[in-house]
Every structure is written in C-alpha cells, then in structure tokens.
Chain A
Amino acid sequence: MAAGFKTAEPLEYHRSFLKENCRPDGRELSEFRTTTLNIGSISTADGSALVKVGNTTVICGIKAELTNPTVEAPGKGYIVPNVDLPPLCSSRFRPGPPSEQAQAASQFVADVIESSEVIQTEDLCIERGKLCWVLYCDLMCLDYDGNLLDACTIALLAALKNTKLPEVTISTETPEVNLAKTRGLHIHKHPVSASFCVFDDSILIVDPTAEEESLKTAQLTVVTDEEDRLCTVHKPGGTSLSGEKLQECISRATARQREIQKLIDKVTRSVKTAQ
C-alpha cells in the first residue's frame, strides 16, 4: 500500500512525512545520513578516498603529473578537478559525454578549491617557470542517491590529505624522480560543504536523497572552513530563501564542518598507525 502511494503520489507521500517533522528514511529534517570514509584504498593513485553519505558513494583518485607552468603564472602548479556520473551509478545517467549536472559539479569543485585555497598552487611549483605538478583530481560517483556535492567535497579533501608526491630534483635539464622520498601536501584549509533542499517553498531539509532532490523547489549548498569563513554559497536558482533560513543553513554547515574534519582526522590517523 505504502509503496503504491509512494509511486503514484511521491510529493504527497513526502509531505505526509514532513508534516510530522520526519522523513521517509526515518531521519529528522536537519539530520545528515551516516558518513563513512575510507582513505588510500587505491594504490595506483597518489592519493585516494572513498566516501559514503548514506547510499551515495563517491571515489576520488588523485594522480600527480609533471608539466610546464604557464607563462602568466610561472610559480604556480595546476589542480584539475573533474566529476563523472557514469551510467553505473544510477539509471538516470546515460553513457556519453558528461551531463550538465556533472559539468556543474566539476565547476563547483573547482570553485571550492579556488575560493577556499585548500591547496595553494604555489606549493605545486618545482622550479619556477620550468616545472610544476599538475594534480588531476578525478571524482567518480559509484552510487547516486542525492547530495553529490557534499560527497565530492569530502572525498576531495580526504584524498588531498592522503596525497603523497615523490621528491623531484633537477639535474642537467632533466628532472629526476625519487619514489623512495615522498612528501604530503600542505592543506591550508578544510572546506566542507553542506547541502539543503527547500520543499514546498518553505520546509528546509538537509542532505537530500535522490528522491527528495527530484521533488525540491530549490537547493542550496554552503561551504565553510575551520575558521567559519564561507567559501561558497551556491544556490542555483529555485524559489527564494529568506535571510533567517539562510542563517539557519550556515549554522548547520559550520557544525557539519567540525564533524567532517574530525572524521577525516580520525581516519587519517588510523591509516597512519596501521602502516
């Protein structure tokens, strides 16, 4: 009976839960799904992390390569983030070039990296004007159940913390790479995002599932760092939001930042002690 109601009238089905201040999966309106993290599981990548936010799973693999810096920025390296939504992760995605959603997510991650200065591209320079690192941060969704952006930022941050770059020395014009000596990246900031959905123009819920996303009237993603500074307030249209609601989202986002940073630190430490 309930299943039939859900398929026939998905909006009414969700409304009947929201009226009681809860959601179909048993969560409260301001409750995130269980977030789990696995760091460094891909040995072919220089840094990697797998994040699960409820069912949503995102894997991030970072590969470092050598290249020449641009003439305009001779002392800077590159960070190239890309998000992929392969047909594997949900039946809503078709094979082929990245969809608008995937492209918008790539741009979002690129903006978060630039705005938060999680890594300063100056740190990636090896020899000014000649050689620098390019970090290809490839994010892939393996199971899409909503809230892609949050999972992506967590995966990216954890993978960056896990990344080790080999030592490079330059002798007689050609670089020499020493895999035995590696160093980690300097993480300047810890940006963490929190996503919200607006239901029926007024009800605010956090960490939406794929189903909730399809019924939303607006979506908002707030990214904050450990100093409580806002790095991104991304609301791609939708119904308008009052100042109080926005303030509510920001406070929830700062709390979320603390939780996630703690989680990442905990997992990073356990990986280190295991080695």
Chain B
Amino acid sequence: SRDELVCGSSNVSLREFGCEQSLLSRPDGSASFVQGDTSVLAGVYGPAEVKVSKEIYDRATLEVLIQPKVGLPSVRERSQEQCVRETCEASLLLTLHPRSSLTLVLQVLHDDGSLLSCFLNAACMALMDAGLPMSCLFCGVTCAIDADGQIITDPTAAQEKESRALMTFAIDSKECRVMMSSTKGSFSVHELQQCIAVSQKASEKIFQFYRDSVKRRYSKTL
C-alpha cells in the first residue's frame, strides 16, 4: 500500500512525497515517510508498562529516540528528539493513558535535506497507525532562504547548504498555527513571517496527502 504525491504545480513546491503505514509487524504502529530522497522509518510502541522512575501519575510518558543512518546519536539528535517529543506531546491525548509509556523510534534511512520535517511527518503517520487518540494532527515543513532571498520549501541537502537561513516548523491541522519552530542562520522578522505563511500553505497540501494516503489504505482493506 504505497501512496505517492507529486506536488509542484502551484506556488508552493514540495518534492515527491510517499508514505506507507503498518509496514512493520512488531511495533504497535509504524510508518515510513519519503520526501524526495529523504526517507525516515518510524515505529511506535505502547501504551505499555512504564519504568517507575519515569512514571507520571496523570499521563503517559512519551519517549522519542532518533537513530541516525550511521553512528550513534549525538547532541544534535537529542535536540531534535526534544522537538519531536514536545510536538507529539501537545497533540496526543496523553491523559487518557496515565502511568504508561509510549515509545517512538525514528530511524533515518536517507538524509537529503528537510530531515526534521520528515521526522515529524513520519511520527504523525506512525502515531495515527498506532491508533493513539490525538487532539489534532501535525506536519513538518522546512523552508530555506537562499542568497537571493527566495524561499525554497522542502529543500534538498544541497539547497540547505547554500541557504542563508533554514527554518523548520510543525503546523497543527486544527488552526494551522506553529507548534514547533527550529531555525538556523539569521533572518529578518518579515522573512520569518513569510516563511510561516508559506509553511502554512504547504501544510494544507501535506494534510491533504495524509488524508489521501489513509483513505486509499482503508479503501483497500475494508
């Protein structure tokens, strides 16, 4: 059940998206997400028993682990884990599973730019696949500002390298507002606002892609 989407006809251009859910048998929910050549595999375990030291009495404990393609996770991955975790925490209804644990593992298969946004998209699809109750969906969009001040959405690694500033946002599906923001490089307030507007526009497309891909999946099985 592989779904693909080609975007790029309108003013916001994204690379070719692909998503497959329930592709792993062991986790409670899984998804792979492909943005151009960037590809991430996500697995969700839980709700399960939680370690006493990590137990929270009124909600579930969510742990996010990011595994790089090669080597061990470093400080950068830890910071990305924090971003993904707190975004998921805000959209998941964790109070429905007090004193339990949720684990989200994100494995990088290939990094060709916009990795953090791909993490977010894969995470959201995997959480959906696990059937966990959520208050809203979220998606990740990366914008790069190049030397001429042009905004490139969903940039490749080469475009990221040449960019003057790089921003990744998580946008919620309910009000289309910024849930998470992580930036690099310096930029003006106006540029930030432009990038947020572009990301919000791009998020509509991504949510439509989510919808289509889930619809297609269930139309086959049901």
The digit string for A36-64, where 1 denotes a CB below 8 A from any CB of B, is 00000000000000000000000000000
Interface size class of A (residues with CB under 8 A): 35 or more
Shortest CB-to-CB span from A112 to chain B, Å, is 10
Q: Indicate if the CB atoms of B90 and A233 lie closer than 8 Å.
A: no
The answer to the question of B193 belonging to the interface, with a C-beta cut-off of 8 Å to chain A, is yes
**Taking the nearest CB of chain B, how far is it from the CB of A254, in angstroms?**
9
Residue B182 CB within 8 A of the other chain: yes
B175 touches A230 (CB 8 A): no
Whether B132 sits at the interface, judged by CB under 8 Å, is no
- Chain B residues numbered 188-217 whose CB sits less than 8 Å from any CB in chain A: 188-189, 192-193, 196
Which single residue of chain B is at the shortest CB-CB distance from A101? B82
Pick from B22-30, B72-80, B97-105 the stretch touching chain A: B72-80
B161 interfacial by beta-carbon distance below 8 Å? no
Cβ B76 vs Cβ A234 within 8 A = no
For A233, the chain B residues whose CB sits under 8 A away are: 167, 181, 183, 192
Complexed CA–CA distance, A233 and B186 (Å): 10
| A108 interface contact, C-beta 8 A | yes
Q: Number of contacting residues on B, CB 8 A?
A: 36
Is the pair B179, A246 in contact by a Cβ cutoff of 8 Å?
no
Question: Are B179 and A103 in contact, with the CB atoms below 8 A?
Answer: no
B179 / chain A contacts, CB cutoff of 8 Å? 218, 235, 237-241
Interface centre among B89, B185, B186 (most CB of A within 10 A): B186
- Please name all residues of chain B whose beta carbon is closer than 8 Å to the beta carbon of A247 when the two chains form the complex: 189
Residues of A within 8 A of B186 (CB): 115-117, 225, 229-231
Q: Can you name 13 A-B residue pairings with CB atoms under 8 Å?
A: A110-B75, A220-B181, A228-B189, A230-B186, A231-B186, A232-B183, A234-B182, A237-B84, A237-B86, A240-B90, A240-B178, A243-B177, A243-B196
Which residues of B are interface residues toward A (Cβ below 8 A)?
A: 75-76, 78-79, 81-90, 165, 167, 170, 172, 174-175, 177-189, 192-193, 196
